[in-house]
Structure formats: structure tokens, C-alpha cells
Structure 1
């Protein structure tokens, strides 16, 4: 039988202070999100009087009705979903493929490629050269401007390379004995045992793609190709509150929404979808890298 050791007064005090500190950090982190939710579900004109901190005083869904009735929001949502999915898949696959090649011994010019990539971590061309490059590539007002420039990241490549180098060489040797070539080994051996790093990079890049408003603001003039975050930027940056309310009233028929309530409701609509994705990828963060893949 094991006996539980009693904590000393100093240890108990430390645990108490640590717990209180962590609770305060959680509160400071989560309360702004809760405040936005509460006010988004509250009647717009009632919220203007203030005093709403914990629960909606006058519950209303008119803010969200006005958001979804706004012209262009569903198109913007569709563009965001499409660019997030396609961009994440392309980024993860292309970066992993390059990282696998650079992680193998004997690659001709491998060290030069890594040196060139390292330079890009510290230096960039800037906005104007990037804009001119997108123009020369005919990517302005083109959906592919969300995909092609972000297919590769050297920072993510370093993470992939570190992971691939830890994979036992016995897996590749066994596959080569069975007649597999490099492409088959990458697709059928490396990727299946790399789910933790694949899920991690997919989550990071997916969040970036979902939250990216700058690309749509700089390279896209066609409103039908602008993502939801650029749409949110336009709502928040609206200079005239009266014009915003008038536009919303004209589309939804409601008279109880305000510019502030529309902003908060739009923030909720654009944020929650990517938040719900995290629980489906979380399990891969805690799985072992090589569980069941090789023994002995």
C-alpha cells in the first residue's frame, strides 16, 4: 500500500497561488470571447445602453439574421471554405513532399536548397515586389492567389524534416525490398505514420487561411472572390454607422440592429467554424509517432 504524502505549507501555498493565477489567465483569455457572444445574441438597440456582461438582457437572433441577409456574405463564406480546404491540402502535401526529399541522405544539392530556404526566413521581397509578381503571374482577381503563393513554407518544412528524420530507416528498407519506389514509400509509408505532424501543420495553416484577410484586400478587387475575413474587415472598417444600419434594415427588414451588433455577430459567424475544427484534430497531437508501425 502506498501512503499519500502530505504537502508542506509552502507546497500548498504554491499550489494555491498557481491555481489562482491560472484561473485568472483563463478568465482574461476567455471572457472577451464570452462578451462578444453575449452581446451578439442581445438586441442591438438594447445593447447600446450598456450593462451587459454575463447574459443577454434581451435575447435576439436578429443580428445574425441581418448578417446572413447581407448581400455577399454567403459567397464570401463559400470562398473562405474553399480556399481553406484546398489551400491547406495543397500546402501540407507539397511542403511534406519537399521536406521528405530534403530529409533523405544523398540528395544532390540538398544543403544548397536548405541554405536558400533559410535565407527566406530572415529576408522578404516586400509588398510592392510581391504585388508586381502576382500581377505578372496573372493572379490578381484570381482564386489561385489564395493557393499558389502559400503552397510552401520553409518554416513548416523544418518541422516536417525533423519529424521525417526520426522515422526508422527499417520502414523504408522493408518497403524497398517489396519493390516500392520513392513515390510509393512517401505515399504509403511516410504519410500514414506522420499523422501527428500532418494534423499539426494542417491546423496551423488552416487557421491562417481562414483568418487571412490581407490577401483578399490587396490582390482581389472582385467582391465575388473576397473571403469572409475581408468581408468582416469591411464591416468593421465601415466609416458611417448610419449607412451600415440603413443597408441592414433594407435587406432584413429589422429595425433593432445597430452597427456594433452587426460587427459582433459577424465576428461570431467568422470565428466559430474554425474553432469547431480543432477537437477533430486534437487527438493526433497526443498520439505517439510510431505506434504499431515497427517492432524490435
Structure 2
């Protein structure tokens, strides 16, 4: 018994050590970017900053927030994340609710077609040509309309909806509610765990998406902050940002420090939102995976 207890204790300590290392490797790169974004750019070029800022400053962030183009990009990202997530959740849930009803005519065919789209797609060029012909290029709608539906998210919604007692719908029908009224007033309120799960999924996607801005948008005033950050890193656009505040740049701010500050601004909002949705995230997946 003692040998068994010792082996279990050793296993627990080994697990603890491994998880501690994984957590450190995950968190430290974020911490490194954060502390360097609060350090003077010219001083940071010397290197050797690992745990805390050596010469603390907020001039990097002052430079970033003084740039009108970046603040416009930040506003576009917030708008497309909020609007895109709300429409995606509502539209996908509505289609999932319809397909979860076994009496729907052609239900199996719709599910088969949708399943095929999970593994095969038309590709980038046909998608670009389609959006061009629809007149969505260089418009805000290109962020919203193509992402309003996801068959993967539909499957999660359907799994959850099938577990809702049918008696709730019957009671609503007796009270005179139609199908849309049942969906809005009954199904959605009792499905908040899975709604929060899908909202978190799609919200993170909308916030982090830079590809749509690179491929479908040429107007700089419609680019999201992730595309703006991409251009800073890939196209050396940080020099243009830094030059927007010359009286500051010539002293302490460098293009690298501006990059780091922009990365923090682009990352932290979605990181702060996640803890508030985490309990719904876990609950939504657990309920959706259980079978009676």
C-alpha cells in the first residue's frame, strides 16, 4: 500500500511539474510582449528585458492611440465582432432549430449537403469571384454575410435543441405562439449555455480574422485591427505609425515598440472577455455531449 501511495504521489507531482512548465511556456510569451510594450523603445533595443520593464513608459501606447488609422481599425474590429457574432448565432441557431425538427421535409438531404461542405469547399478564387459579383468587396458586409452560417456550429446547436423537452414547445403552441415565436421566446432563453459557447467561438474568430481584410478590402478605413497589425509586421507599416508623432518618436519610440503595443491592444480585449463566458462554454459542451 505504501509503495502504491508513493507511486501515486510521485505521479501527481510529475503531472504538476509538467503542467507548470506548459503554463509557463504558454503565458511567458504574452508577458514578454506586455512588459516590452511598456518599456522605452530605444532602451529595449539593448535587450535583456525578461521579467519587468527596465525603463517604464506609456509613450508607445500614446503613439499608437494617436494614430487615427489604427483607432479606426479598432472600431471596425469591435463593430464586426459584435454584429457578426450576434447575426451568426441567431441565424445558425434558427437553421439548427428547423433541422432539429424531424417533421421537416427534406431534412436528411439538407444535413447531407451541409456535411459535405464541412470537408469540401469551392476554394479561395471561386469565393472571391462570388463576393465580387455580389458587390461585397470593399464593403463592411463582407465581414458579416459570408460568416453568418457555420454547419459545424449548427451541429452543436442541433445536439442541444434535441435535449429540450418537447412539452415546452407544446405549451407555447397552446398559448398561440407560432414557430418563430417559440424559437425566440422559448428555445433561445433556455439555450444560453450553447449560445454563449458559439458566441465565444465566433467572437474569437471575428476578432482575430485578418484574412478577410487582406483579400477582400482595399480601403484602409475598412480594415480591422488584425489586418492593420498584419501590415505593420509584414509591410513595415510601423514606421508610418511612429512617424505620425514625430516629437515623441525621435526620443524613445521605435517601430518595434509600436508593434508590441499594437499587439497588446489587439489581443487583450478578447482575453478579458473569455473568463466571463468560460462557465457557459464548459456547460454548453457538456450538455451538448450528454445523451439520455
User: Structure 1-normalised TM-score?
Assistant: 0.91
Instruction: Give the structure 2 partner of residue 219 of structure 1.
Output: 216
Distance 1:271 1:41 in 2: 15
When residues 240 and 153 of structure 1 are mapped into structure 2, their CA distance, relative to the original with a 3 A threshold, is: closer
Q: Does 1:176 align with 2:176?
A: no
Instruction: Give the structure 1 partner of residue 290 of structure 2.
Output: none
Contact 1:92 1:201 in 2 (8 A): yes
Instruction: Give the structure 2 partner of residue 161 of structure 1.
Output: 158
Listed as ranges, the gaps of 5+ residues in structure 2 are 288-292
Q: Where has structure 1 moved over 6 Å in runs of 4 or more?
A: none
* Residues matched between the structures, number: 285
Listed as ranges, the gaps of 5+ residues in structure 1 are 292-296
93-102 or 66-75, which deviates more: 66-75
TM superposition shift of 1:178 = 2.0
Contact 2:66 2:245 in 1 (8 A): no
Q: Secondary structure at the match of 1:237?
A: helix
Q: Does 1:279 align with 2:275?
A: yes
Distance 1:28 1:162 in 2: 36
What whole-Å deviation, never above 9, does each CA across 1:179-235 have from its counterpart, x for those lacking one? 222111111110001000000000110010001011011111110111111110111
Instruction: Give the structure 1 partner of residue 34 of structure 2.
Output: 37
Instruction: Give the structure 2 partner of residue 191 of structure 1.
Output: 188
Distance 1:254 1:77 in 2: 26
Contact 1:245 1:257 in 2 (8 A): no
When residues 7 and 70 of structure 1 are mapped into structure 2, their CA distance, relative to the original with a 3 A threshold, is: farther
User: Structure 2-normalised TM-score?
Assistant: 0.92
When residues 41 and 194 of structure 1 are mapped into structure 2, their CA distance, relative to the original with a 3 A threshold, is: same
142-151 or 70-79, which deviates more: 70-79
Q: Secondary structure at the match of 2:182?
A: helix
Instruction: Give the structure 2 partner of residue 210 of structure 1.
Output: 207
Contact 1:245 1:258 in 2 (8 A): no
Instruction: Give the structure 1 partner of residue 53 of structure 2.
Output: 56
TM superposition shift of 1:285 = 3.3
Q: Secondary structure at the match of 2:235?
A: coil
